[in-house]
Amino acid sequence: VCALALRSLVQSFAAPDTVERCGSGDVMEMDIDSVTPGCKMHLIYGDEYCGSVAKCMFSIFRCMIGDCTSAGGRSLTMIFSNGFGLRFDILYAFSMVCVLFGLFNIITAIFVEATLNGLKETEIQRKYAKAYETSYMTEQLAKLVVCVASQTQMMRS
Protein backbone atom coordinates (compact mmCIF):
# COMPACT_ATOMS: atom_id res chain seq x y z
CA VAL A 1 0.00 0.00 0.00
CA CYS A 2 2.83 2.37 0.86
CA ALA A 3 4.62 1.49 -2.38
CA LEU A 4 1.50 2.21 -4.42
CA ALA A 5 0.99 5.54 -2.68
CA LEU A 6 4.63 6.59 -3.14
CA ARG A 7 4.67 5.37 -6.74
CA SER A 8 1.57 7.40 -7.59
CA LEU A 9 3.08 10.46 -5.88
CA VAL A 10 6.31 10.14 -7.88
CA GLN A 11 4.45 9.37 -11.09
CA SER A 12 2.27 12.46 -10.75
CA PHE A 13 5.37 14.70 -10.80
CA ALA A 14 7.94 13.02 -13.05
CA ALA A 15 8.20 11.60 -16.52
CA PRO A 16 9.09 7.87 -16.66
CA ASP A 17 12.33 8.50 -18.59
CA THR A 18 13.85 10.98 -16.13
CA VAL A 19 16.90 8.84 -15.33
CA GLU A 20 17.67 8.31 -19.05
CA ARG A 21 17.42 12.05 -19.78
CA CYS A 22 19.18 13.38 -16.69
CA GLY A 23 21.44 10.58 -15.44
CA SER A 24 21.72 9.25 -11.90
CA GLY A 25 20.94 11.55 -9.00
CA ASP A 26 24.21 10.64 -7.29
CA VAL A 27 26.27 12.48 -9.94
CA MET A 28 24.39 15.78 -9.47
CA GLU A 29 25.44 18.48 -7.04
CA MET A 30 23.07 18.80 -4.07
CA ASP A 31 22.73 22.57 -4.04
CA ILE A 32 22.63 23.30 -7.78
CA ASP A 33 19.47 22.89 -9.86
CA SER A 34 20.12 21.13 -13.12
CA VAL A 35 20.18 23.13 -16.33
CA THR A 36 18.02 20.52 -18.08
CA PRO A 37 14.32 21.24 -17.49
CA GLY A 38 12.61 18.61 -15.39
CA CYS A 39 15.88 17.26 -13.97
CA LYS A 40 15.29 17.98 -10.34
CA MET A 41 16.94 15.80 -7.73
CA HIS A 42 13.73 14.40 -6.23
CA LEU A 43 12.32 13.56 -9.66
CA ILE A 44 15.49 11.72 -10.69
CA TYR A 45 15.62 9.74 -7.44
CA GLY A 46 11.88 9.16 -7.63
CA ASP A 47 12.23 7.57 -11.06
CA GLU A 48 15.39 5.71 -10.06
CA TYR A 49 14.06 4.19 -6.81
CA CYS A 50 10.29 4.21 -7.48
CA GLY A 51 10.21 3.74 -11.25
CA SER A 52 7.99 0.69 -10.81
CA VAL A 53 5.91 -0.70 -7.97
CA ALA A 54 8.47 -3.48 -7.40
CA LYS A 55 11.36 -0.98 -7.14
CA CYS A 56 9.25 1.18 -4.84
CA MET A 57 8.40 -1.79 -2.61
CA PHE A 58 12.07 -2.65 -2.26
CA SER A 59 12.99 0.98 -1.54
CA ILE A 60 10.31 1.20 1.14
CA PHE A 61 11.51 -2.10 2.64
CA ARG A 62 15.02 -0.65 2.83
CA CYS A 63 13.68 2.51 4.48
CA MET A 64 11.73 0.49 7.05
CA ILE A 65 14.84 -1.42 8.12
CA GLY A 66 16.89 1.77 8.37
CA ASP A 67 18.76 2.10 5.05
CA CYS A 68 16.91 4.90 3.31
CA THR A 69 19.85 6.13 1.24
CA SER A 70 20.76 6.19 -2.42
CA ALA A 71 23.62 4.18 -3.88
CA GLY A 72 25.85 7.24 -3.36
CA GLY A 73 24.82 7.59 0.30
CA ARG A 74 22.37 10.49 0.02
CA SER A 75 19.27 10.44 2.20
CA LEU A 76 16.24 9.62 0.07
CA THR A 77 13.92 10.72 2.84
CA MET A 78 15.30 14.25 2.91
CA ILE A 79 15.53 14.54 -0.89
CA PHE A 80 11.90 13.41 -1.29
CA SER A 81 10.81 15.64 1.59
CA ASN A 82 12.48 18.71 0.08
CA GLY A 83 11.14 17.94 -3.40
CA PHE A 84 7.65 16.58 -2.86
CA GLY A 85 6.88 18.57 0.26
CA LEU A 86 4.09 17.95 2.72
CA ARG A 87 2.50 15.12 0.71
CA PHE A 88 5.60 12.97 1.11
CA ASP A 89 6.10 14.00 4.74
CA ILE A 90 2.59 12.89 5.70
CA LEU A 91 2.86 9.64 3.72
CA TYR A 92 6.28 8.85 5.21
CA ALA A 93 5.29 9.69 8.79
CA PHE A 94 2.04 7.71 8.57
CA SER A 95 3.69 4.64 7.05
CA MET A 96 6.57 4.66 9.54
CA VAL A 97 4.19 4.94 12.50
CA CYS A 98 2.03 2.10 11.12
CA VAL A 99 4.99 -0.17 10.53
CA LEU A 100 7.08 0.60 13.58
CA PHE A 101 4.32 0.78 16.16
CA GLY A 102 1.72 -1.41 14.51
CA LEU A 103 3.31 -4.24 12.62
CA PHE A 104 6.37 -4.71 14.82
CA ASN A 105 4.23 -4.72 17.98
CA ILE A 106 1.99 -7.38 16.46
CA ILE A 107 5.02 -9.52 15.64
CA THR A 108 6.38 -9.06 19.16
CA ALA A 109 2.99 -9.95 20.65
CA ILE A 110 2.89 -13.17 18.62
CA PHE A 111 6.29 -14.21 19.97
CA VAL A 112 5.31 -13.36 23.56
CA GLU A 113 2.02 -15.25 23.25
CA ALA A 114 3.78 -18.31 21.81
CA THR A 115 6.29 -18.25 24.67
CA LEU A 116 3.58 -17.93 27.32
CA ASN A 117 1.54 -20.75 25.74
CA GLY A 118 4.64 -22.93 25.73
CA LEU A 119 5.26 -22.20 29.40
CA LYS A 120 1.62 -22.87 30.23
CA GLU A 121 1.69 -26.22 28.42
CA THR A 122 4.88 -27.13 30.25
CA GLU A 123 3.20 -26.27 33.57
CA ILE A 124 0.15 -28.37 32.67
CA GLN A 125 2.37 -31.30 31.69
CA ARG A 126 4.22 -30.98 34.99
CA LYS A 127 0.91 -31.06 36.89
CA TYR A 128 -0.20 -34.16 34.96
CA ALA A 129 3.15 -35.82 35.66
CA LYS A 130 2.82 -35.06 39.35
CA ALA A 131 -0.76 -36.37 39.42
CA TYR A 132 0.33 -39.52 37.55
CA GLU A 133 3.23 -39.97 39.94
CA THR A 134 0.87 -39.60 42.92
CA SER A 135 -1.64 -42.13 41.55
CA TYR A 136 1.22 -44.48 40.59
CA MET A 137 2.64 -44.29 44.10
CA THR A 138 -0.82 -44.87 45.59
CA GLU A 139 -1.29 -47.98 43.43
CA GLN A 140 2.15 -49.32 44.35
CA LEU A 141 1.54 -48.72 48.06
CA ALA A 142 -1.81 -50.49 47.78
CA LYS A 143 -0.10 -53.48 46.11
CA LEU A 144 2.54 -53.47 48.84
CA VAL A 145 -0.11 -53.42 51.57
CA VAL A 146 -1.97 -56.31 49.90
CA CYS A 147 1.30 -58.24 49.54
CA VAL A 148 2.33 -57.63 53.17
CA ALA A 149 -1.18 -58.52 54.39
CA SER A 150 -1.19 -61.78 52.41
CA GLN A 151 2.30 -62.66 53.64
CA THR A 152 1.29 -61.85 57.20
CA GLN A 153 -1.83 -64.00 56.86
CA MET A 154 0.22 -66.88 55.44
CA MET A 155 2.66 -66.66 58.34
CA ARG A 156 -0.18 -66.66 60.87
CA SER A 157 -1.78 -69.67 59.23
- 33-76 pLDDT, tens digit per residue, is 555 666 788 888 888 888 888 999 999 888 888 888 988 888 99
**What pLDDT, on a 0 to 100 scale, did the predictor assign at position 110?**
92
pTM flag (> 0.75): no
**What pLDDT, on a 0 to 100 scale, did the predictor assign at position 32?**
52
**What pLDDT, on a 0 to 100 scale, did the predictor assign at position 58?**
93
Q: What is the domain partition of the chain in residue ranges?
A: 1-109
**What pLDDT, on a 0 to 100 scale, did the predictor assign at position 89?**
92
CA 3 to chain centre: 16
**What pLDDT, on a 0 to 100 scale, did the predictor assign at position 112?**
92
**What pLDDT, on a 0 to 100 scale, did the predictor assign at position 33?**
54
Q: Which has the closest alpha carbon to 80: 20, 34, 40? A: 40
What's 25's DSSP letter? Answer: G
**What pLDDT, on a 0 to 100 scale, did the predictor assign at position 130?**
80
Round the CA-based radius of gyration of the chain to a whole number and report it. 34
User: What residue spans of the chain are helical by DSSP H?
Assistant: 2-13, 18-22, 41-49, 53-64, 76-84, 86-97, 104-156
Consecutive 10-residue averages of pLDDT for the chain (157 residues): 85 72 73 62 84 89 87 89 89 87 88 86 79 83 91 88
